[in-house]
């Protein structure tokens, strides 16, 4: 993996880093895990394996033989390796400046792709899972037009990662919006069911799974070891919601759950902070899924982009490649993510030096104060 080079001629080049076969293998395995999670139920892997899985297994075997380690014998064993061997395992040796040490591609409890796995799989020229989410929304916008119809549909998708048949009889149900977005939903995959029951996280609304697929007992979960949800960092104050008729449920496409629905709470919190401060903003239709331009935030062009990403260096690499060249872009992430050990420092260190004055990492709580600070600095420099 490489931290991307800034593409525009008036931006600094970040250069290329040679990180070795193990690091490249880690990214290949991330793409494999992400693809297999979409393609089949994950409870068993029947021969012949899908082509990308067979290639990933072959490359892992060859790498193990090169470094003198016993290779995995099958795809199920390789999947287990992705659950137990982190990025900094000697087999991969992914630099800590790219992926946080201890990061695995398969979650130890949920046995599903981790959020970090999807971010690693999205790193590179094709954009992976994140680019798939962008393509789906571009297609929706093309069908709806760049007006309120698209915004209504986007808001519905972000707020409804799961739709139950009973929802359609609620007072707020919009038949026209549903007709435009229903093709972005599908039936619940078997891999997300526990004894024929679907669980959703009471905090983020995304799918949840208990350890060892054992049906949870009533009451709150005391630790993250009890249950996994796709959000991964949600509080465990309340037990998951149980849906006993999963055949009446439709679920949003995985890429949109991760890169549209998951950051939505942070996006709404940032918008509320701007509105309280009297700062007008409007959505940008191209580029990132959650991007806004501010109308009265001081001199120059000021944008905000909202993300919920686990890997700060990969977020920095994405922004170095794609961030618009404006006077300031504020990158809004959840408070809990920003408070993680060394997140801010790793993000800043991964940015090209000349981009550090343009890209400001902040949170919904700090957004308005950071905007004010930027205004004062511009006045002082004038």
pLDDT 10s digits, 284-300? 877 788 999 998 776 68
pLDDT score recorded for residue 10 = 39
Asked if the model's pLDDT at residue 163 lies above 80, the reply is yes
Peptide bond between residue 39 and the one before it cis (omega within 30 degrees of 0): no
Asked if the model's pLDDT at residue 321 lies above 80, the reply is yes
Asked if the model's pLDDT at residue 25 lies above 90, the reply is yes
Higher-pLDDT residue of 61 and 218 is 61
pTM for this model (two decimals): 0.89
The per-residue pLDDT for range 243-273, each reduced to its tens digit, is: 999 999 999 999 999 999 999 999 999 999 9
Query: pLDDT confidence of 46, banded at 50, 70, 90?
Result: low
Torsion-angle region of 194 (φ positive above 0: left; ψ -120 to 50: alpha; else: beta): beta
- Label residue 170 exposed, middle or buried (CB < 10 Å: 0-12, 13-18, 19+): exposed
Task: Tell me the average pLDDT across 129-139.
Answer: 94
- How far apart are alpha carbons 216 and 241 in whole angstroms? 11
**Per-residue CA distances from 343 to 18, 106, 187 (Å):** 23, 21, 36
pLDDT score recorded for residue 12 = 37
The per-residue pLDDT for range 336-366, each reduced to its tens digit, is: 999 888 999 999 999 999 888 889 999 999 9
């Amino acid at each position: 993996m490489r931290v991307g080079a800034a593409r525009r001629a008036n931006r600094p080049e970040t250069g290329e880093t040679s990180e070795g076969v193990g690091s490249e293998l880690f990214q290949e395995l991330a793409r494999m895990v992400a693809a297999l999670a979409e393609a089949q139920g994950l409870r068993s892997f029947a021969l012949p394996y899908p082509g990308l899985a067979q290639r990933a297994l072959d490359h892992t075997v060859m790498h193990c033989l090169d470094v003198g380690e016993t290779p995995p014998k099958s795809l199920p064993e390789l999947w287990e390796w992705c659950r137990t061997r982190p990025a900094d395992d000697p087999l991969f040796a992914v630099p800590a400046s790219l992926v946080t040490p201890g990061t695995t591609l398969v979650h130890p409890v949920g046995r599903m792709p981790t959020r970090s796995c999807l971010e690693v799989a999205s790193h590179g020229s094709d954009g992976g899972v994140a680019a798939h989410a962008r393509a789906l929304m571009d297609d929706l916008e093309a069908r709806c037009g760049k007006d309120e119809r698209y915004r209504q549909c986007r808001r519905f998708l972000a707020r409804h990662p799961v739709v139950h048949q009973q929802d359609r009889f609620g007072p707020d149900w919009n038949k026209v919006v549903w007709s435009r977005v229903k093709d972005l939903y599908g039936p619940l995959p078997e891999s997300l069911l526990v004894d024929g029951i679907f669980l959703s996280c009471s905090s983020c609304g995304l799918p949840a799974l208990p350890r060892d697929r054992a049906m949870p007992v009533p009451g709150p979960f005391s630790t993250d070891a009890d249950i996994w949800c796709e959000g991964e960092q949600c509080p465990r104050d309340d037990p998951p919601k149980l849906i006993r008729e999963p055949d009446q449920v439709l679920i949003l496409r995985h890429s949109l759950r991760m890169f549209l629905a998951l950051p939505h709470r942070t996006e709404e919190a940032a918008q509320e902070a701007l509105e309280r401060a009297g700062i007008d903003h409007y959505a940008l239709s191209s580029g990132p899924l959650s991007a806004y331009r501010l109308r009265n935030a001081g001199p120059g062009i000021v944008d905000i982009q909202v993300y919920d990403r686990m890997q700060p260096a990969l977020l920095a690499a994405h922004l170095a490649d794609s961030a618009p060249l404006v006077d300031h872009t504020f990158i809004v992430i959840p408070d809990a993510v920003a408070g993680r050990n060394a997140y801010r420092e790793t993000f800043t260190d991964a940015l090209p030096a000349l981009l550090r004055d343009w890209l400001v990492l902040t949170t919904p709580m700090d957004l308005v104060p950071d905007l004010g600070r930027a205004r004062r600095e511009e006045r002082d420099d004038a």
